[in-house]
Amino acid sequence: KVVNINYIPWCAATVSPVLGTVAARLKHSLPDLTYDYGALEPHINAEIMQLHHSKHHATYVNNLNVTEEKYQEALAKGDVTAQVSLQPALRFNGGGHINHTIFWTNLSQNGGGEPQGELAAAIKRDFGSFQTLKDKMSAVTVAVQGSGWGWLGFDKESGKLRITACHNQDPLQGTTGLVPLLGIDVWEHAYYLQYKNVRPDYVKAIWNVINWENVSERLQAAKK
């Protein structure tokens, strides 16, 4: 199941013009997980999942809302300097919200195993084998310096799957154009309580909980 980001749609502004433009701005909220915090044990423990979702992701959502509000004000005033100075915060917090929303759907207690159907075929075509994909994506993800994400993405131009990494919370599509299919968070908060400095062990373990149905759905959506 794909988790929905809850938006107050723009159309609400027309329904209630009294609210004014500020109240009608998009307001992001923390999506619920479709599983319990302990569902991914022993691969990712409950304590990590709880902190990661209810603290880290929640903070990105809150800070995104605050930043967007300031951005709306800057737009309204025509203050381009302020708009530019808010860009990093939009990137951090917007990217953080996007990335984690995808991530929760990429994981499942029924995950693991191998992808099927069109996704499996695409993986074979673009990487040679599923094992090669795993090896390459693991290597790229482990090698991220500092904080960041490893990504499996879809290149609309070539129609091919690509592996890459992004720094900090840079969102894949917003910065590279690739459509995100599967992300692996390697900020230390994603694994430290359980794996400490041994990032490779975490990356190895996470393959056990990858929700290949979700990754397949994302590929289908990306191809449209």
Partner 1 sequence: MSNLVRISSSPACAMMASTASISRFSVSKVTSKVIEPHIDARTMEIHHSKHHNAYTTNLNAAIAGTDLEGKTIENILINLDKTNAAVRNNGGGFYNHNLFWTVMSANGGGLPTGELLAAIESSFGTFEEFKAKFAKAGATQFGSGWAWLCVQKGGKLDVCGTPNQDNPLMPEVGCGGTPILGMDVWEHAYYLHYQNRRPDYIEAFFNVINWTEVSRRFALEK
The annotated binding site is made up of 52, 100, 185, 189
Q: Does 88 bind partner 1 (CB under 8 A)?
A: yes
Which listed range, 6-14, 35-43, 51-59, 151-159, lies at the site for partner 1 (CB under 8 A)? 51-59
Shortest distance in whole angstroms from residue 198 CB to partner 1? 8
Distance CA 143, CA 159 (A): 26
Residue 4's Cβ-count burial label (10 Å; 0-12, 13-18, 19+) is: exposed
Exposure on the CB side of residue 56, measured as CA atoms within 13 A: 23
Q: Does 187 bind partner 1 (CB under 8 A)?
A: yes
Q: Does 192 bind partner 1 (CB under 8 A)?
A: yes
For the beta sheet containing 179-185, the strands, ordered from the edge strand earlier in sequence to the opposite edge, are 160-167, 148-155, 179-185
Q: Which two tokens stand for residue 90?
A: 């939009």
Q: Does 134 bind partner 1 (CB under 8 A)?
A: no
Amino acid at 27: K
Site for partner 1 (CB under 8 A): which residue of 148, 153, 180, 183? 148
Query: Would you say 56 or 134 has its CB closer to partner 1?
Result: 56
Distance CA 75, CA 55 (A): 30
Site for partner 1 (CB under 8 A): which residue of 27, 56, 70, 162? 56
Binding site for partner 1 (CB under 8 A): 51, 55-56, 59, 88, 92, 145-148, 167-169, 187-189, 192-193, 196-197
